[in-house]
Structure 1
Amino acid sequence: MALTGSTGALGGLVAPALVDLDPLLLVRDASRAPALGLEVRVADYADEASAVAALQGVDLLLMVSGAEAQDRRDQHRRFIRAAATAGVGHVVYTSFAGAAADATFTLGRDHHDAEQALRESGMRWTFLRDNFYADVLPFFADRSGAIRGPAGEGRVAAVARADVADAVVAVLRDPAAHAGATYTLTGPEALTLAEVATRAGAVLGRDLRFEDETVEEAYASRRAAYDAEDWQLDAWVSTYTAIRDGSVAEVTDDVRRLTGHSARSLEDALRG
């Protein structure tokens, strides 16, 4: 078994929970690998040759989706080709709720492309489509405590990152039972951003509020504040429009089905 993402927030929860299975850690920078007494190999999604070499002898692979980038689709496809070339048998991929070619959330389209590449690869696959992270949403707020974006009264079934990690661990411990399966990982309820602000503020001790914007205002405010490319602006703004149009409102029971415990509430996610 090989794990990517162990230096990140999600993979950093998964790797320690699987130490007993002696997984291999694939990282871009060996100096940042967690000190778990596990074998570490260096590979980069964008470097197909290095990935083929690093994946030799691996049958089961956790592929945590790569960092946001304009060429992320190409990076994902390079790594998937490398896995197939190296003889990997089963890839567990962290995708996004509602991944589709026409997903409102533009980065959901990247995830759809990776899913398609895996379907066509000849390898077995399992897709874990997580919603937006409940423990991240409150930190969209600016210094004044305002979460601003064109989300309107739309709802989001945000999931605790810890629940996604628990689901990943459950699948990796019994991969054959989940081959060819797609799971949508959500929290226990769908909340408006106004509700997120009120409830998260109570936990964090901050005066948080939601302020709706038009799409035009959202682009203008972000262009003024950040030196960002169009694809990044599209991703930021579509986070809110995906909430507004209901794309991320579905609540599922997949966290409980996989982990045996109920999905954490917003408050539980923030308390850790």
Structure 2
Amino acid sequence: MRIAVTGATGKVGGEVARLLTIEADGEGRLRLIVRDAARAPREPGAEIAVADFSDAAACRAAFADVDALLLVSAGEAVDRIEQHRTAITAAAEAGVGHIVYTSFLGASPSAEFTLARDHGATEQLLRDSGVAWTFLRDSFYADVLLDFAGEERLIRGPAGVGRCAYVARADVAEVAARILRDPAPWAGRALDLTGPVAVTLGEAALLMTRARGAEYEYVDETLEEARASRAPYGAPDWQVDAWISTYTAIGSGELDVVSGDVELVLGRAPRTLEETVADPL
């Protein structure tokens, strides 16, 4: 069984690589696919391949002889769907047996969170690819709340009292690693990966305060306030819309979902928000 992991320099991909290395049963069983070889994690026995999702030839070479592939979604970009199309086509041409894709909760063309629309389009590309697939539909990462809060420990956005069951990156990585080792039972399945309870951002701030011993706060912004507070970043309109839709998707109730799929795969309950922010990935 040869497993390949894209995005191996990132948080989730890097943790999947670490978990798979721990249980590796021989040289050449794990291939880490990165855009910059100098940044690749140095896991014992792992091969390193260099490929960008926009480079079809490099992807075909990196995916050759791979039984199971973790396709970590590309970063925010106008052409993200096209990058995914190139990578998925290359995987099919290379004869990849099974693709595990990091998608998003409620991925669809009409999702309130605009980036989840990219995931919906990518899921359809995978359905049409002829390659066996599993979708990991992650909720928002609990770890990322720390990034949202920043040094000011202040989370700002128009989410109101909407709820979300934030999931630990570590749980997503563990689920991915477990499925990659034996993907057949999970073929054709879309798994909703969430935390154990849905909370408002106000409640999340209180949980973060308890877990980290420093005060966190949530400020509920209007749409106009949200645009104004993000204007200094100078980001393009599509990206600002994506950032703001992070919060409006929560406020709309679309992400008020608690799933048992983490426990289904791992045989244990998912990490709580408090546990995650106390020891983030």
Alignment TM class, shorter chain as reference: over 0.9
Q: Distance in 1 between matches of 2:275 and 2:150?
A: 23
DSSP 3-state at the match of 1:187: coil
Shift of 1:144: 3.5
**Paired residue for 2:80?**
72
Partner letter of residue 247 of structure 1?
E
Structure 1 residues 144, 53: closer, same or farther in 2, change over 3 A?
Answer: closer
Which residue in 1 is equivalent to 2:16?
Answer: 14
Give the structure 1 partner of residue 179 of structure 2: 171
Q: CA RMSD in A?
A: 1.1
Runs of 4+ in 1 over 6 A off after TM superposition: none
Name the residue aligned to 1:55: 63
Residue 139 of structure 1 deviates from its aligned partner by 2.7
Question: What's the counterpart of residue 197 of structure 2?
Answer: 189
Q: Which amino acid aligns with 1:252?
A: S
Is the Cα–Cα contact under 8 Å of residues 137 and 191 in structure 2 kept in the other structure? yes
Q: Deviations over 1:31-66 (max 9, x none)?
A: 111111311111110111111122111121110111
Partner Cα distance (2:182, 2:80) in 1: 29
Name which of structure 1's ranges 123-132 and 51-60 shifts more when overlaid on structure 2: 51-60
Q: Please say if residues 211 and 277 of structure 2, whose CA atoms lie closer than 8 Å, have aligned partners that are also in contact.
A: yes
Q: Which residue of 2 aligns with 1:252?
A: 259
Check conservation: 1:138, 1:196, Cα contact below 8 A: no
Confirm or deny: 8 A CA contact 2:146 2:277 kept in the other structure.
no
Tell me the SS of whatever aligns to 1:7. Answer: coil
Amino acid at match of 1:205: G
1:174, CA displacement in angstroms?
Answer: 1.3
State the secondary structure of the residue aligned to 2:49.
Answer: strand
In the other structure, the counterpart of 1:36 is 43
Distance 1:229 1:90 in 2: 35
Please give the alpha-carbon distance, in whole angstroms, between the structure 2 residues aligned to 1:142 and 1:135: 12
Counterpart-to-counterpart distance in 2, 1:11 and 1:201: 28
Question: Is structure 2 residue 262 aligned with structure 1 residue 262?
Answer: no
Corresponding letter in the other structure for 2:14: G
Mapped contact 1:150–1:241 kept (Cα < 8 A): yes
Once residues 214 and 64 of structure 1 are traced to their aligned partners in structure 2, the CA distance between those partners, rounded to angstroms, is 33
Deviation, 1:206, is 2.1
Cα distance in 1, alignment partners of residues 101 and 67 from structure 2: 14
Q: Which amino acid aligns with 2:165?
A: A
- Alignment partner, residue 109 of structure 2: 101
1:156-167 pair list within 5 angstroms = 156-167=164-175
Shift of 1:172: 0.9
Matches within 5 A, 1:191-210: 191-210=199-218
- Matched-pair identity in %: 54
CA distance in 1, matches of 2:221, 2:151: 17
TM-score normalised according to structure 1 size: 0.97
1:149 to 2:152 alignment: no
Deviations 1:84-134 (A, max 9, x none): 111112110010001000100000001111101000001110000000011
Rounded to whole Å, the distance in 2 between the matches of 1:262 and 1:214 is: 35
Q: Secondary structure at the match of 2:11?
A: coil
* Alpha-carbon shift at residue 143 of structure 1 (Å): 4.1
Mapped contact 2:158–2:221 kept (Cα < 8 A)? yes
Match of 2:7 in 1: 5
TM-score by length of 2: 0.94
In structure 2, distance between residues paired with 1:160 and 1:18: 18
Gaps of at least 5 residues in structure 2 are: none
CA distance in 2, matches of 1:64, 1:83: 13
SS in 2 for 1:101: coil
C-alpha distance in 2 between matches for 1:90 and 1:145: 41
* Number of aligned positions between the proteins: 271
Tell me the residue number matched to 1:239: 246
Deviation at 1:142, TM superposition (A): 4.7
